[in-house]
């Protein structure tokens, strides 16, 4: 973990990892005996005729549990459906967890899921769970037309090198993916943003290539919009509101592979960061319990350790070892219990470290006082709650160890809930 | 099935740069120590007694208020000890024990804890306490009177009193070398300029105080004193004299930089510091008091919330 430097007057600078030279190939994790897939929506609304225990499924087959919802998952191993249970994710999001027991029997071949030519309808109905989770739904929203696709060839978080590896090693897939993505979405302007140097090597991709600074958090969509596209995102708006959609390099490469082979790509590339903060790229089938990956890499876990899905600055901690690899799991971090920094309820002393490190100039010293007291609306109106991009640098440098980012996300969540409660109240 | 392992689950970010409040206060304490030690060297055992009593009583007052208010014990963060040390450094060596204990009571309890503890105080607790004591018992802060029994091998006159009452001519007696080395009459820890500057630079380099405040405070003192001495060189002492006497250095590096009563943004820090420096010289040269640092710091503490509103617009702010 990066410590405060002795010369504290210099702003701490977290940098993204850059892959240079020859990069080792990812370690292949064998397909799991049981894959767990999460489908959005409550298990109670399940339509038993669509999905029930014991159904035979083939790899690449979409699993839907309800006619009323578009949500689906894609089976990544062939076999039979094991259990169907409810699962609650972060911020109370409701999922249905479906396990698929892998079997060696060859299933009867199904229709090739990826049929040519690419179109938005077929892509929407089968490709949103590709490794890298392409946000194809954005393109179906007619109220917010997308005119620019930004493919970022790096990762949001420090130490993570998943997408950089994709850009370096799967250039032809990326190229095909860009062509397919243009056909699917009808969007002409594609910008490839790559971290740091070596941008001249991507000239053939059929897209504008732009360079992104390697200081954290320049790879956040809001920062890329500001520094690379020269557009400042108004506070509280999403990039899609301005017609710009961010897609990860891995998602684009997966689309490219899907249309090339007609097969559904099931392997997700993951940067695993072990207790000694050494990275290792692995390739695992989506739905693999993360304990399989740890076993393969020889990482042992004890009570009191921390498992983080995502990077060290923006990920989310999970409480079970058999949490599955998801389409958007780009990193796994394991922290030893002795290396875990704790938060505290100490008051803000107004030292201003957060104010000086905030990339979007949010007056965090004032904001956090309002958030601690629960004055969320005032915080949003006067102290730029919605300008926060969630990089977590304020919590990283806070000497009082206040969980500032958690306060900010809680405030936004509560404001969102208030707004929707008001909306239902008015409509009734 | 084996029992499930229990993992720690918490919110991002999962890294911390391991800075802490005790780290900040203990390093400030260390940075202030050289000046205090040199003070004790010149003023002897009475000075040591004042420093020890001040630190001890400040910590005890903090413990008392922790128990009375039934809150967690906070003496471990070192802030009370730092208040005790800084308070003692501003006192003359012969301060009576009751004044020390009253002073730390005012600093820790009235200056800090009734505002809600560390981070809640809108005035620097030390400065507030010195202000209240010097109004209540003005003779305690009359350095010439308090230190009359001392006869050391340097000019035994409080420099600011000399400048105030006898004009710039009396200032010629003081050599800058003496002033820098602590060979002057004043508070126990406020006279050793070299030590205070070294401590301040250490804190600035380590990032525990903000250089903007200290430097602009000193620049404010320098500029204002320079203007005064240019206007009337016979009445007003020069800028270097003002920088090295009274509470200027301890004020610039240790009092004005108190975290919770100083601004956090760049431009406000400059305004805050410069205003403090200019006010100091105004009070010294045309005000009623010999030293102006205490009231200057109180005034800038007071306006700090207002000037800290000058800040860059947040990215994406919709006006």
Long-range pairs of A60-66 with CB within 8 A, sequence gap ≥ 24: A60/A110, A60/A113, A60/A263, A60/A264, A60/A266, A61/A110, A61/A113, A62/A113, A62/A125, A62/A126, A63/A37, A63/A39, A63/A98, A64/A39, A65/A39, A65/A41, A65/A96, A65/A98, A66/A41
- Mark which residues 125-184 of B lie under 8 Å from A by CB: none
* Chain A residue numbers touching B7 (CB-CB < 8 A): 301, 303-307, 317-321
Mean of pLDDT values over A36-54: 87
Would you call A7 and B207 a contact, using CB atoms and an 8 Å cutoff? yes
ipTM of model: 0.91
Architecture of the domain delimited by A120-261: 3-Layer(aba) Sandwich (3.40)
Q: Examine residue B150 and state whether it is found in any structural domain, yes or no.
A: no
Same domain, B186 and B129: no
- When CB atoms are compared, the residue of A9, A302, A387 closest to B315 is A387
In a domain, B317, yes or no: no
Q: Measured between beta carbons, which residues in chain A are less than 8 angstroms from residue B305?
A: none
What residues in A contact B260, CB-CB < 8 Å? 349-350
Mean pLDDT of A303-328: 92
Instruction: Give residue-wise pLDDT tens across range B177-225.
Output: 999 999 999 999 999 999 999 999 999 999 999 999 999 999 999 999 9
CA distance B296 to B256: 9
Confidence bin at B167 (pLDDT 50/70/90) = confident
Instruction: Return the closest-CA partner of residue A176 out of A249, A99, A92.
Output: A249
Q: What is the pLDDT of residues A187-227, one digit of tens each?
A: 989 998 888 765 566 666 777 888 888 888 999 999 999 98
pLDDT at B1 over 60: no
Instruction: Based on the fold, state whether residues B234 and B128 are members of the same structural domain.
Output: no
Q: Same structural domain for residues B131 and B236?
A: no
B contacts of A2 (beta carbons < 8 Å): 15, 17
- Within-domain flag for B145: no
B12, B116, B315 member nearest A313 (Cβ): B12
Report the mean per-residue pLDDT for chain A.
88
Nearest CA in chain A to B261: A350
Whether residue B185 sits in one domain with residue B111: no
Among B140, B168, B186, where does a domain finish? B140
Residues B239 and B298 in one domain: yes
- Phi, psi (5° rounding) for residue A283? -120, 120
B69 and B204 inside one domain: no
Q: Would you say residue B11 lies in a domain?
A: no
Which residue, chain included where needed, has tokens 């410069």?
Answer: B274
Q: Which of B7, B13, B264 sits opposite A392 (nearest CB)?
A: B13
Q: What integer pLDDT is reported at residue A111 of this predicted model?
A: 56
- Would you say A316 and A309 are in contact if contact means Cβ atoms under 8 Å apart? yes
Considering its fold, how many domains does chain B have in total?
Answer: 2
The domain boundary residue, chosen from B140, B166, B187? B140
Q: What is the mean pLDDT of the segment spanning B26-48?
A: 96
CA nearest neighbour of A12 among A157, A159, A216: A216
Whole-model pTM?
0.92
What is the pLDDT, as a whole number, of residue A211? 87
- The answer to whether residues B247 and B287 belong to one domain is yes
User: What's the domain range around B189?
Assistant: 156-306
**Does residue B70 share a domain with residue B130?**
yes
Q: Does B98 touch chain A (CB under 8 A)?
A: no
The secondary element (H helix, E strand) that includes residue A316 is strand A316-318
Do B118 and B173 share a domain, yes or no?
no
Decide if B315 is inside a domain.
no
The answer to whether A317 contacts B9, with C-beta atoms less than 8 Å apart, is yes
Q: What pLDDT digit, counting tens, does each position of A380-395 carry?
A: 999 999 999 999 999 9
Q: Verify that B162 and B302 share a domain, yes or no.
A: yes
Question: If you ran DSSP here, which 8-state letter would residue A152 be given?
Answer: E
Q: Tokens representing A188? A: 């002409």
Residues B182 and B112 in one domain: no
- B151 in any annotated domain: no
Check if CATH label 3.10.20.90 holds for domain A268-339: yes
User: Which of B88, B110, B140 is the last residue in one of the domains?
Assistant: B140
Residues B127, B63 within the same domain: yes
A190: exposed, middle or buried (C-beta count within 10 Å: 0-12, 13-18, 19+)? buried
Nearest to B17 among A2, A234, A346 (CB): A2
Distance from CA of B64 to the nearest CA of A (A): 19
Q: From start to end of A29-164, where are the E strands?
A: 34-40, 56-57, 62-63, 73-74, 79-88, 94-102, 148-152
Residue B8 lies in a domain: no
């Amino acid at each position: 973990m990066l410590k405060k430097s002795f010369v504290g007057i210099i702003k701490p600078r977290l940098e993204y990892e850059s892959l240079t030279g020859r990069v080792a190939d990812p370690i292949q994790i064998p397909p799991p005996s049981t894959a767990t897939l999460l489908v959005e929506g409550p298990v109670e609304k399940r339509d038993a005729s669509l999905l029930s225990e014991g159904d035979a499924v083939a790899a690449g087959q979409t699993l839907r549990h309800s006619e009323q919802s578009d949500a689906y998952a894609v089976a990544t191993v062939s076999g039979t459906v094991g259990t169907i249970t409810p699962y609650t994710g972060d911020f109370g999001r409701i999922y249905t967890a479906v396990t698929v027991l892998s079997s060696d029997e060859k299933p009867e071949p199904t229709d090739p899921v990826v049929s040519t030519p690419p179109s938005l309808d077929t892509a929407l109905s089968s490709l949103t769970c590709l490794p890298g989770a392409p946000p194809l739904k954005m393109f179906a929203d007619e109220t917010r037309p997308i005119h620019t696709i930004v493919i970022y060839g790096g990762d949001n978080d420090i130490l993570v090198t998943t997408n950089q590896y994709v850009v370096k090693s799967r250039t032809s897939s990326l190229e095909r993916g860009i062509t397919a993505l243009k056909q699917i979405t009808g969007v002409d302007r594609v910008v490839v943003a790559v971290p740091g140097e070596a941008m001249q090597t991507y000239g053939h991709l059929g897209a504008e290539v732009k360079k992104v600074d390697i200081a954290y958090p320049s790879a956040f969509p809001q920062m890329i919009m500001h520094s690379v596209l020269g557009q400042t995102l108004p506070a509280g708006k999403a990039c899609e509101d301005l017609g710009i959609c961010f897609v990860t390099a891995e998602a684009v490469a997966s689309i490219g592979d899907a249309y090339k082979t007609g097969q559904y790509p099931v392997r997700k590339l993951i940067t695993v960061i072990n207790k000694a903060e050494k990275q290792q790229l692995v390739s695992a089938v989506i739905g693999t319990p993360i304990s399989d990956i740890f076993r393969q890499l020889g990482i042992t876990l004890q009570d009191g350790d921390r498992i983080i899905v995502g990077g060290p600055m923006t990920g989310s901690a999970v409480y079970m070892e058999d949490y599955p690899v998801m389409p958007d799991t780009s990193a796994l971090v394991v922290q030893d219990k002795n290396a875990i920094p704790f938060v505290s309820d100490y008051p803000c002393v107004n030292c201003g470290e957060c104010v000086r490190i905030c990339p979007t100039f949010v007056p965090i010293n004032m904001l956090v006082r309002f958030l601690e007291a629960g004055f969320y609306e005032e915080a949003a109106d006067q102290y730029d709650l919605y300008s926060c991009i969630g990089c977590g640098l304020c919590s990283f440098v806070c000497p009082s160890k206040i969980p500032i980012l958690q306060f900010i996300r809680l405030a936004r969540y509560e404001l969102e809930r208030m707004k929707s409660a008001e909306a239902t109240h008015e409509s009734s | 099935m084996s029992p499930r392992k229990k993992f720690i689950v918490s919110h991002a970010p999962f890294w911390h740069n391991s800075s802490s409040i005790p780290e900040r206060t203990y390093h400030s304490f260390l940075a202030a120590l050289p000046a205090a030690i040199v003070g004790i060297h010149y003023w002897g055992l009475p000075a040591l007694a004042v420093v020890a009593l001040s630190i001890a009583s400040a910590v005890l007052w903090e413990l008392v208020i922790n128990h009375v208010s039934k809150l967690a014990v906070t003496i471990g963060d070192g802030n009370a000890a730092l208040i005790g040390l800084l308070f003692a450094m501003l006192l003359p060596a012969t301060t009576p024990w009751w004044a020390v204990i009253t002073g730390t009571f005012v600093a820790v309890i009235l200056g800090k804890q009734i505002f809600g503890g560390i981070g809640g105080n809108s005035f620097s607790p030390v400065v507030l306490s010195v202000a209240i004591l010097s109004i209540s018992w003005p003779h305690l802060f009359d350095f010439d009177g308090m230190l009359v029994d001392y006869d050391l091998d340097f000019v035994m006159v409080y420099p600011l009193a000399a400048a105030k009452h006898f004009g710039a001519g009396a200032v010629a007696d003081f050599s800058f070398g003496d002033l820098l080395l602590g060979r002057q009459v004043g508070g126990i820890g406020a006279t050793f300029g070299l030590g205070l500057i070294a401590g301040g630079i250490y804190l600035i380099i380590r990032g525990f105080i903000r250089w903007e405040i200290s430097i602009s405070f000193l620049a404010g003192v320098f500029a204002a004193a320079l203007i005064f001495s240019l206007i009337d060189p016979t009445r007003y002492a020069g800028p270097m004299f003002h920088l090295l006497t009274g509470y200027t250095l301890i004020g610039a590096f240790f009092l004005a930089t108190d975290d919770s009563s100083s601004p956090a943004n760049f431009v406000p820090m400059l305004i805050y510091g410069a205003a403090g420096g200019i006010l100091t010289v105004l009070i010294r040269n045309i005000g009623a008091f010999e030293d102006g640092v205490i009231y200057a710091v109180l005034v800038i503490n007071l306006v700090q919330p207002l000037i800290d509103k000058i800040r860059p617009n947040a990215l994406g702010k919709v006006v």
